Amino acid sequence: MSNRVVEGRMVTPKRLAELVEGEKPLEAESIEDADRDCPECDGNVISVGYMPSVTEFVTAYKCQDCEWAETDRD
């Protein structure tokens, strides 16, 4: 349902989190539109909340068109 195309590939919420995090998350919420544009290419930015571990919740932001990504970690 919330699968989205990122850099030309359809990704699930968990796969999107894995792209940003580098490891598979335990859980991931639905992918949503972040209300912002990519600072690199002005592409559309999407977000996904996920749990990389049982004690941590992270929101990741990822451009759909290029490699730009960030998280809300300090």
Asked if residue 63 binds Zn ion (CB under 5 A), the reply is yes
Nearer to Zn ion, 34 or 66 (CB): 66
Question: Which residues, 6 or more positions from 37, have their beta carbon under 8 angstroms from its beta carbon?
Answer: 43, 44, 45
Element housing 34 (H / E)? strand 32-37
Encoded one letter per residue, x for contact with Zn ion by CB under 5 A and - for no contact, window 11-50 reads: ---------------------------x-xx-x-------
DSSP β-bridge partners for residue 27: 51
* Minimum distance of Zn ion from residue 63's CB (angstroms): 3
